[in-house]
Amino acid sequence: MSGHDVVPRGGGGVRDGGSTGPAGTSAELEWDRAVELIRAADDICLACHVAPDGDALGSMLALARALRVLGKRCAASFGEPFTVPAILRFLPGQEMLVEPARMPSAPELMIALDAAGRARLGGLAGRADRADALIVVDHHASNTGFGGVRLVDPDAAATAVLVEELIRRLGVPLDRDMAQGLYAGLASDTGSFKYPCTTPEVHDLAGRLLAAGVRPDAVSRELWDRAPFGYLQVLAGALARARLERDAAGGLGLVWTTIARADRAARDVDYDQLEGVIDQLRRTDEAEVAVVCKENDRGEWYVSTRSKGAVDVGRACVELGGGGHRTAAAFTMGGEPACIIDRLRAALRVPGDPDDD
C-alpha cells in the first residue's frame, strides 16, 4: 500500500498524496487504515528514533499507554544506545520500554514514531522491514516515505500532535500519563511554544493536555531548568570557544562551537545533558544560524543546527546525510569539527544566493 501525507485535526490543511479522490479522501483512508490495523492486532511494537528527544519518547510512551488501555500487548523501544536521556526520565510509562534485542524479530504490527527514515530506527530498522504491517507517524519534512501506512505531516508542530489525533480516533480518553508524554513532545518541538510552528491549534492542544492533569511548570523544569553543576562549566567552555562568521550563510552570519568527549568527561557530564547549549548560541544577534558540534561516546560528531527562519538548515542537513526541519535540523559525521563546519558552510543556502538551486 502506498502512503499519503495526512494532516490531523488542527493541522495546516490536507495534502493529497497524488492518488485518487477529492482532497482529504486519501488522508482519511490512511487514518482509517491505521485504526483498522491497530484494532485488529493483538501484539504491537512501537519504535522511535535513536537518541530520543522529548517528542519521540513522549509520543511513544503516550501511545503505548493508550494501546494498553485498549487491551493490546505492547512493547516500546529504540535503537542502541538504549539509554533514556536524563532530562526525560521523569516521563511516565517507562516500564513499557524493553531493550531492542527483546523486541520480536518480525512484529505483527509495528508503529514507527518521529523517525524521518528507516535508518533513524537504528538497530530496529530490520524489524520494521519484517513487520507484517508498518505504520509511520512523523512530522519531518525530510521523511523518506517509508512504511505501508503513513501518518506524516510536515506542518504538524510535533509528532505528539499526530499521536494525540490517533489516540482520539482510537476512542481512548486522555489520562494524565498520556497527556504528560504528549505535552513533553509538544513543548520540546515548539521550543516551549516560542518557535514559528506554534499556532492557535497548538495552544488548543496544550490546553486539552493541561485539562487532563499536566503541570506545565513541572515539565518545563525537567526539560529546561535543571542541570548538574558540571554542565555550567562545560557550557562556559563551549561559549568561550564559540566562533562568529559574519559572512557565512549568505552574509546572514553563522555562530558555532564544539564540545568534545574530553570536555564532558572532565566535568562528569553525560552527552544527553548537552541539549540546551544550542539555545544559548542561537541568541547571537549577528548570526542567523547557530551550530553545536557534540562528540558522542563513539567518537562521532552530532551536529545540531538552528535557524531564525531565513536559512533552511533542514535542506543543508539532508544534503549531509541528516534531516529535520527548516529551522531545526541535525546530522552525524566523523572527522574534525573544522572540516565538518566547512562542509556545512558550503551546504547552507539562502534565497537569492548565486549558487542557490
Closest CA to 183 of 149, 215, 143: 215
Cβ 91 vs Cβ 184: under 8 Å: yes
pLDDT in tens, 250-292: 999 999 999 999 999 999 999 989 989 999 999 999 999 999 9
Distance, in Å, from the CA atom of 123 to the CA atom of 111, rounded to the nearest integer, reads 15
Distance, in Å, from the CA atom of 164 to the CA atom of 186, rounded to the nearest integer, reads 10
Residues 6 or more apart in contact with residue 46 via CB below 8 angstroms: 60, 63, 64, 67, 74, 75, 76, 77, 110, 111, 113
Query: What burial letters (b/e) apply to 75-87, b meaning 16+ CB within 10 Å?
Result: bbbbbeeeeebbb
Residues 6 or more apart in contact with residue 68 via CB below 8 angstroms: 74, 96
Torsion angle of alpha carbons 267, 269, 275, 277, nearest 10°?
Answer: 0
Q: What CA–CA distances, in Å, run from 187 to 152, 194, 213, 244?
A: 19, 9, 15, 29
Query: What burial letters (b/e) apply to 149-160, b meaning 16+ CB within 10 Å?
Result: bbbbbbbbbbbb
Beta strands in the chain (DSSP E): 43-48, 73-78, 109-113, 134-138, 149-152, 243-245, 254-259, 289-295, 301-307, 323-324, 328-333
Query: Would you write out the chain's pLDDT as a tens digit for each of its 357 residues?
Result: 333 334 333 333 333 333 223 346 688 899 999 999 999 999 999 999 999 999 999 999 999 999 999 999 999 999 999 999 999 999 999 999 999 999 999 999 999 999 999 999 999 999 999 999 999 999 998 999 999 999 999 999 999 999 999 999 999 999 999 999 999 999 999 999 998 899 999 999 999 999 999 999 999 999 999 999 999 999 999 999 999 999 999 999 999 999 999 999 999 999 989 989 999 999 999 999 999 999 999 999 999 999 999 999 999 999 999 988 899 999 999 999 999 999 999 999 766 555 544
Closest CA to 46 of 58, 36, 54: 58
Instruction: State whether residue 37 is helix, strand or coil.
Output: helix
Instruction: State whether residue 161 is helix, strand or coil.
Output: helix
Distance, in Å, from the CA atom of 26 to the CA atom of 260, rounded to the nearest integer, reads 47
Distance, in Å, from the CA atom of 336 to the CA atom of 319, rounded to the nearest integer, reads 18
ω before 81 within 30° of 0 (cis)? yes
Distance, in Å, from the CA atom of 306 to the CA atom of 254, rounded to the nearest integer, reads 10
Closest CA to 183 of 138, 222, 219: 219
Amino acid at 21: G
State the cell numbers at 39.
Answer: 484494532
Distance, in Å, from the CA atom of 230 to the CA atom of 55, rounded to the nearest integer, reads 26
Closest CA to 140 of 107, 116, 164: 116
Residues 6 or more apart in contact with residue 138 via CB below 8 angstroms: 112, 113, 114, 115, 116, 150, 151, 152, 159, 162
Residue 157, CA atoms < 13 Å, CB-side half-sphere: 31
Instruction: State whether residue 43 is helix, strand or coil.
Output: strand
Cβ 151 vs Cβ 84: under 8 Å: no
Distance, in Å, from the CA atom of 30 to the CA atom of 150, rounded to the nearest integer, reads 7
pLDDT in tens, 183-239: 999 999 999 999 889 999 999 999 999 999 999 999 999 999 999 999 999 999 999
What pTM was estimated for this model as a whole? Answer: 0.88
